[in-house]
Structure 1
Amino acid sequence: MEALISGAGIAGPTLAYWLARQGWRVTVVERAGALRSGGNPVDVRGPALPVAERMGILPRLRESATHATTMRVIGPSGRTVARLPMSASGDEVEIPRSDLAAILADTVRDDAELLLDDTITTLRQDPGGVDVTFERAAPRRFDLVVGADGLHSTVRRLAFGPESTFVQPVGLYVATMPFGGPAETPSEVLLYNTPGRLVSIHPSRGEAVVAFIFRGEGLDRHAPHEAINGTYRGEGWRVPELLDRLRAIPDPYFDEVSRVTMPAWSTGRVTLLGDAASCVSLLGDGSTMAMTAAYTLATALAEHPGDPATAVHRYEVAHRRLVIPKQRGIGRAAGMLVPATQLGLATRNLGARLMAHRPPRASTAA
C-alpha cells in the first residue's frame, strides 16, 4: 500500500512514522523548500504524550523543552498584575514548534520519501486508488492521500471545495517574530494586554519569540507590517521597541486565527488530518491534537488493512470526540487571552490575581 501525505509539519511526519511501521510505502510532499522553522512554542500533552513515548521521542522532547516556568501578566500601566506558575506536573512538554517538527521529521528520515518545494495540483480518485499530479514531480497513483497541510490546505481545496466554505475566522489575528536575542528572564513568559490587544515575549530556547495577538477583521494577511503597526501604534510598555524590531523582519508570520468546521473529513481514499480538518490552533492544543489524530488514523488503518475508506471513517468518528469540545471552547479561550473591553480585561486580571494566590494542586500524573 502506498500513501501520500501532504504537509511535513506535525501531523504529517507522525502519521508517516506509524504507516512506515505497518509496511506502507510513504511519500511526504511539502510546499516549502525546507522544513518549517520558527513559530511560537507549542504544548505536547494529554493524549499526545503516550504517542510520543511509543515513538521513542519523549526524552528528546523533554531535552528540547523551553525553560519557562512562570507567566507574568502585565497591566496597561506596565505594572505586574500577577505571576502564574505554568504546569510543573510533568504531564506536558512545552517545546518550540520548529524543534518538535524537526524531531518528528527525523523519525521518518529513512522511512519515507520527502518531496520538498512541491505541491499537489490535481486529485482524481476511483474505488481502487487516487491519481495525483504534482507541480514538479511526475504523476503517480496512491492507495491513500492525506491532507496534513494546515489551515490553508491544498488537499482540502482540491477534494472538498474552496477554503471559504470551511474556514471560519474567530476575530483574532496572530503575528510572530524572533525577539532578536534571548529573553532577559529565561523562565518567564511576559503577557501585556490592553483591550483587544496582546503582546507576549516568550523565552523559548535561546532566542525569544514575540507574538502580537489582536482582535480585528478584514485585514490583509499578506500585509503584516501595516496591520500590526496600525493596531499597536501608541501602545505603552515595550511595544514601541518591539515595533522597531518588527521593521527589520521582512516576512513575519501573520495569519487570521480561524476554526475549520466540516461535515466530513474524508471522501473515499482522501482524508484530512490536523489543522486541515479541524483547526483549533492557538486556542485548542493544535499540536497535541495533530499528533493524536495521526496515531488514531494509523491505528484505524492497521485495524482495516486493505480498506482505507473504512479506516478513515473510523478515524474520523473517534477523533471528533476529542476535537469538538476544543472547538466549542474557542470563544471562551479568546476572551481570556485577548479581552475585548476594559471591563473584560479588568475581570480577567482579577481572576489572574486570584489564581496566583491559590495553593498548587498536587500532581495526578503517573
Structure 2
Amino acid sequence: MTKTKVLISGASVAGPVLAYFLHRDGYDVTVVERVPKLRDSGYAVDFRGQALDILEEMGILAEVREHDTKMRGTTLVDERGVETGRLPAEVFAGELEVPKRDLTRILHRVTADDVAYVFDDSISALTRHASGVTVEFERSAAGEFDLVFGADGVYSKVRQLTFGPHTGMLRHLGLSGVGFSTANHIGLDRGGVLQHTANTAIYLVGLGAAERLTVSLSFATASPALDRCGRDEQEAAVRAAFSGHAWEAPRLLEAMSEADDFYFGSSCQVHLDRWSCGRIALVGDAGYCAAPTSGMGTSQALLGAWTLARSLASAGGDHTTAFAAYEAELRPYVTENQVKGRQAATMFGGEAISAGSQPTTS
C-alpha cells in the first residue's frame, strides 16, 4: 500500500512534532527548512499544561527535563535599578523551561532516522490540484505531495503562497525589540531582572551558563516595518528608544553592537478565518501565532501539531474532515492565548491592544 506523502515546511518545533506523529501513523514525511543547518540559538522556551503530556507521549519528557533552566524568578526594578517587586518563576518559565537549542536538537534526533530533512532550501511555488500539491523549491527538483503543512513561523512562506500577502494577516502588538547575549557582568544566576517604563523594557536573564547574560531590549513601535530593515537601522532605532535611559542601558547598548547573535523582531499575532485550503494546512505560529508575550508559543506549537495529527488519524486520512476537526478543537485555545499575548504586551513596552484591533498594513 502506497503511503500518503506529506511535506512540512519548518524544522523548529511544530514541524518536527507533526513529523513525529505523522510518521508514527504511517505517513511518508519530508521536512524542508530554509536555514543551512539545525538552529543553535534562540531564547529559552517553556511548557505548560497538556504540552508536558505530549512530550511524555513522544518519549522525551525525561530528556527535556534534564535541560531545565531551574529559573528562580524575576526581580522587578525601577529606572534606577532599585528592586520594586518579584515575579515567581512560572510567570516566564512555565512548568518547565529549557534552552531552545536543546529542544530543537532533541526533536530532530527523535525524528531524523524516520523523516527526510532537507536543509538550506525553501518552497517557491505551490500548485493545488484534485489529487495533491505540486511543490517547487528554490534549490531542489519539484515534487508531488498528497498534503503540505506550513510550520514555518510568523512570516510563513506556505501561508503567503496559499492565502496571500502577510498584510492583513498580522496584527502588530505595538512592540519590537532586539535580543542578544553578552558577558554576565551583574552575576545573575538562574534568574531574571525586568525594568519597564511606559514605552520600553529591559529584560535580563542569567541561565545555567554563568558567564553569559541573555538581553532583551524592547520598545513601542507603530508597525513591524523594522523587521525588514538592516541591522544598522535596527540598532539605531533601539538606541533612539533607550536614549537617556540610566541603569544598565548605556552598557547594554554598547554590548548590542558587539553581539554576534543579534536578533531583531516584532511581536505580532497571526489571525486567519481558516487554517487550511484544500490539501494545505498551517500549524503553530504560521497559522495562529499568539506572540512571544503570551508565553504560550511552544506549548501551542506542540498542541497544534498533536491535534492536527490526531485529527487526521481519527478521520482515516480524510484531510477535509480532519482539517475541520483540527480547527474546531484548537481555535478556542488559540483565541485564549492570543488574548494573553495582547494583555502581556504592555509589560514589555507595547500598547494595550483590543481584540478588535486592525491587522497591520506593513
TM-score by length of 2: 0.89
* Aligned pair partner of 1:315 in 298, 304, 326: 326
2:298 maps to 1:292? no
- Contact kept? 2:7, 2:147, Cα under 8 Å: yes
1:174 CA drift (Å): 2.5
Let me know the Cα RMSD of the aligned residues. Answer: 1.9
Secondary structure of 1:283's counterpart equals helix
Q: Who is 1:353 aligned against?
A: none
- In 2, the alpha carbon distance for the partners of 1:298 and 1:33 equals 27
- Matched residue type, 1:105: H
2:157 maps to 1:131? no
Q: After superposition, what is the alpha-carbon deviation per residue over 1:160-197, rounded to whole angstroms, capped at 9, x for unaligned?
A: 10001201111001321012458612122111122211
2:172 maps to 1:190? no
- Contact kept? 1:67, 1:186, Cα under 8 Å: no
Secondary structure of 2:207's counterpart equals strand
Q: Who is 1:209 aligned against?
A: 214
Q: Who is 1:8 aligned against?
A: 11
- Contact kept? 1:96, 1:205, Cα under 8 Å: no
Q: Who is 1:348 aligned against?
A: none
- Contact kept? 1:182, 1:203, Cα under 8 Å: no
Q: Who is 2:286 aligned against?
A: 276
Secondary structure of 1:316's counterpart equals helix
Greater alpha carbon shift after TM alignment, 262-271 vs 61-70: 61-70
Query: How is 1:254-265 mapped onto 2 (pairs within 5 angstroms)?
Result: 254-265=264-275
- In 2, the alpha carbon distance for the partners of 1:70 and 1:104 equals 27
- In 2, the alpha carbon distance for the partners of 1:110 and 1:10 equals 17
Query: How is 1:147-158 mapped onto 2 (pairs within 5 angstroms)?
Result: 147-158=150-161
Where does structure 2 lack aligned partners over 5 or more consecutive residues? 353-362
Q: After superposition, what is the alpha-carbon deviation per residue over 1:131-167, rounded to whole angstroms, capped at 9, x for unaligned?
A: 1010111111111100000000000000110001201
1:249 CA drift (Å): 2.4
Q: Who is 1:243 aligned against?
A: 253
Q: Who is 1:267 aligned against?
A: 277
Secondary structure of 2:90's counterpart equals coil
Q: Who is 1:68 aligned against?
A: 71
- In 1, the alpha carbon distance for the partners of 2:171 and 2:87 equals 32
Q: After superposition, what is the alpha-carbon deviation per residue over 1:341-361, rounded to whole angstroms, capped at 9, x for unaligned?
A: 9xxxxxxxxxxxxxxxxxxxx
1:329 CA drift (Å): 3.0
- Contact kept? 1:95, 1:204, Cα under 8 Å: no
1:339 CA drift (Å): 6.8
- Matched residue type, 1:226: A
1:84 CA drift (Å): 2.5
1:91 CA drift (Å): 7.3
- Matched residue type, 1:197: T
Secondary structure of 1:164's counterpart equals coil
Q: After superposition, what is the alpha-carbon deviation per residue over 1:279-326, rounded to whole angstroms, capped at 9, x for unaligned?
A: 113122111100000000010111122312221221111111210111
- Aligned-residue identity in percent: 36
1:328 CA drift (Å): 2.4
- Contact kept? 1:224, 1:254, Cα under 8 Å: yes
User: Residues 178 and 251 of structure 1: is their aligned pair in 2 closer, same or farther, counting only changes over 3 Å?
Assistant: closer
- In 2, the alpha carbon distance for the partners of 1:113 and 1:230 equals 46
- In 2, the alpha carbon distance for the partners of 1:216 and 1:70 equals 28
- In 2, the alpha carbon distance for the partners of 1:152 and 1:140 equals 23
- In 1, the alpha carbon distance for the partners of 2:77 and 2:136 equals 51
Q: Who is 1:100 aligned against?
A: 103
- In 1, the alpha carbon distance for the partners of 2:261 and 2:243 equals 19
* Aligned pair partner of 2:238 in 210, 228, 235: 228
Query: How is 1:344-363 mapped onto 2 (pairs within 5 angstroms)?
Result: none
* Aligned pair partner of 1:306 in 313, 317, 340: 317
- Matched residue type, 1:45: R
Secondary structure of 1:277's counterpart equals helix
User: Residues 60 and 139 of structure 1: is their aligned pair in 2 closer, same or farther, counting only changes over 3 Å?
Assistant: same
- In 2, the alpha carbon distance for the partners of 1:186 and 1:169 equals 33
Q: Who is 1:118 aligned against?
A: 121
- In 2, the alpha carbon distance for the partners of 1:203 and 1:195 equals 25
TM-score by length of 1: 0.88
Q: Who is 1:19 aligned against?
A: 22
- In 1, the alpha carbon distance for the partners of 2:270 and 2:263 equals 20
- Contact kept? 1:39, 1:209, Cα under 8 Å: no
- In 2, the alpha carbon distance for the partners of 1:109 and 1:330 equals 33
- Contact kept? 1:197, 1:214, Cα under 8 Å: yes
Q: After superposition, what is the alpha-carbon deviation per residue over 1:40-76, rounded to whole angstroms, capped at 9, x for unaligned?
A: 2121111211000111111121111113111100111
Work out the number of aligned pairs and report it. Answer: 340
- Matched residue type, 1:216: T
- Contact kept? 1:122, 1:133, Cα under 8 Å: yes
- Contact kept? 1:7, 1:30, Cα under 8 Å: yes
Q: Who is 1:330 aligned against?
A: 341
- Matched residue type, 1:220: L
